[in-house]
Structure formats: structure tokens, C-alpha cells
Homo-oligomer: A and B are copies of this chain.
Amino acid sequence: MAITVVGSVAFDSIETPAGRRERCLGGAATYFSLSASFFTDVRVIAVVGEDFGSNQEAVFHARDIDTQGIERTTGKSFFWEGSYLDNLNEAKTHTTDLNVFAAFEPKIPVAYRDSEFLFLANIDPVLQRRVREQMPDVRLVAGDTMNYWIKDHRDALLLVLKGLDILLINDTETRVLGGNKNLVQAARAVMALGPETLVVKHGEYGATLFHSTTPKSKGAEFRAPGLPLEVVVDPTGAGDSFAGGFFGYLASQPELTPAVYRRAMFYGSVMGSFACERFGTERLQSLTRKEIDDRFILFRELTHID
């Protein structure tokens, strides 16, 4: 099944202990698309400026990602500058220039209308909602957000949450959105706001899947480990790559059973681990399906007991 994703396609300047990159291709929708493209067809909705050229577009096309929903307009593309010098687990943001995203009016190309899966990457919840409303018939909707929207745009976000089947956020976001320091209680509070399924990402420690409708005795929670990585070059996009692997795998399956959700969590962790191995999207661009499957086995081995 095809996935339509809306989110940022951007340029990032990144500094990590491994070095610095200026204006490399980035953005949540970019990482998500590249990651999900190893599992299913992906269609992107975003807006870019005049600085987005054929080199950038070629990155999407090399993975057969449909870019007709990427609108070109005058001005500059979304720009983010951040560093991870003290802590590889948390970016320090130096600059966020919305640029062309400030006046973005998302439009869904006709060819995208039959997408059965929709991913609302981390952008203004008002934009997430507009896309959601234009695609009322999708089978499964997942989304991401961040503390800025949770804290300062809560009402708009709450409207988005009502239309989500799956929310993917991190520990801190779960605690803030759920208003509870205890992760399990916070997760339950978040699911009460709409999404039946919640994926809480723990950075290097993996991620936990919560389902509101599964009785606790039947394995309502599932933990995918993080891979202990000897070299973390650049964690930018790891969460979006996780989401791409998770949702991409779901979209590739004929039936969404509990076992499929569990495997999707592992594919999420697999894709997140690859994303960290080089700067920006470099590792996702060079990746092969064989490498993904080999790492899936490594992840399984990492937690498997007889």
C-alpha cells in the first residue's frame, strides 16, 4: 500500500563530535520517505524554495519516491541548524528558519488520493490537520509532533490527535503531553486523546509500543531495543527514520496483526540505527534491503532468549 507523507523537506547544517556539514538535505519528510521507501511506495507533500534543485530531487527519485506533491515556490527552503556536541541524544537547535513553510497551503495531488496510509510528520498541527481532512478515506494515519507544538499549540494538536491511529513521540514528549511523570500512565493519558497506538521512542534505548485496546495480560506493551552503536556520526533524522521503517513495514503487510506491529517496531529500530551511522541522509541513500534484513536478524539476536 502506498504511503503519503506530509512534512518538512529542508536543508540542515549539523555539527556533531564527528564533524560538521553545511546545508545537507534534511527534513522529517525526507528521512521518513527514504526510510519507508525500502518497504513500500512513498509520496511526499511538502514545499521547497528555489534552493531545492535537481541534486536534491535526485535523492528522492533514486528511491522511486513520488515528488509531484513537493511544491516549488519563490524563496528559500526550510532551514535548520543544530549541534550535538555535548549530548548525542539531544540536538541543540541554533536556527530554525521556516522560510517557504510559513505560508504553506498543502495540496494533495490527484495521484496521491488512493494512498491507504498517511503519515503526518512533525510540522505545524494546523498543516497536519489540513492534510488529514483532505484524505478522509485513508486506512491508517500515523503522526509525529514535538514539545514546541505540545506546549504552545496544544489546542491545534489535540484536533490532530483525534484523527490519528498511531502517534510516535519520545519519552519527554509523552510525559509532557500526558501530564504524568510515569511513562505508562502518561502513555495511557496520551492514547485517551485519540491514538489507539502509541510508539514512545527512547533514543539509544529503543522504543516501546503501547496499544490502548489490548489487555495488559496479552502483551499490550512491546519493547524494541536500540542497537548499541560503536560510532554515532549524526543522530539527525533517527526518529523520522524509525517512523519510516515502522510505518513502511506496516504498509507493506496484508494484515495488521500484533505480530506485524512487533516486527514493525524492530524495522523502526533498524532504520533509526542506520540513520545515525553517517551525516544527514548519506547512510539511507547507500543502504540496501539486504543490509536491512541482516540488521533485523542482529536486532532479534540482541534480545532473543530460548
Contacts and interface: CB of A to CB of B under 8 A. Distances in A.
Contacts of A221: 228, 302
A113 interface: no
A183 interface: yes
A185 interface: yes
B225 A303 contact: yes
Contact of A222 (B224, B226, B303, B306): B303
Interface string A39-64: 00000000000000000000000000
Interface in A259-295: 259, 262-263, 266
A17 B17 CA distance: 38
Contacts of A88: 181
Nearest to A187: B228
A245 to B, nearest CB: 14
6 contacts: A88-B181, A219-B301, A222-B302, A223-B226, A223-B228, A304-B304
Contact of A205 (B205, B301, B305): B205
Nearest to A217: B298
Nearest to A266: B305
Contacts of A304: 262, 304
Interface stretch (A114-122, A127-135, A229-237): A229-237
Contact of A204 (B183, B210, B266): B183
A95 to B, nearest CB: 25
Interface residues of A, number: 37
A46 to B, nearest CB: 33
Contacts of A72: none
Contact of A228 (B208, B262, B263): B208
A302 B184 CA distance: 14
A151 interface: no
A302 B223 contact: yes
Q: Which 3 A-B pairs have the closest CB atoms?
A: A205-B205, A223-B225, A303-B303
Contacts of A184: 228-230
A211 to B, nearest CB: 12
Given A221-B228, A262-B304, 11 more contacts: A182-B232, A184-B229, A185-B230, A205-B206, A221-B302, A222-B302, A223-B225, A223-B302, A263-B305, A266-B305, A300-B305
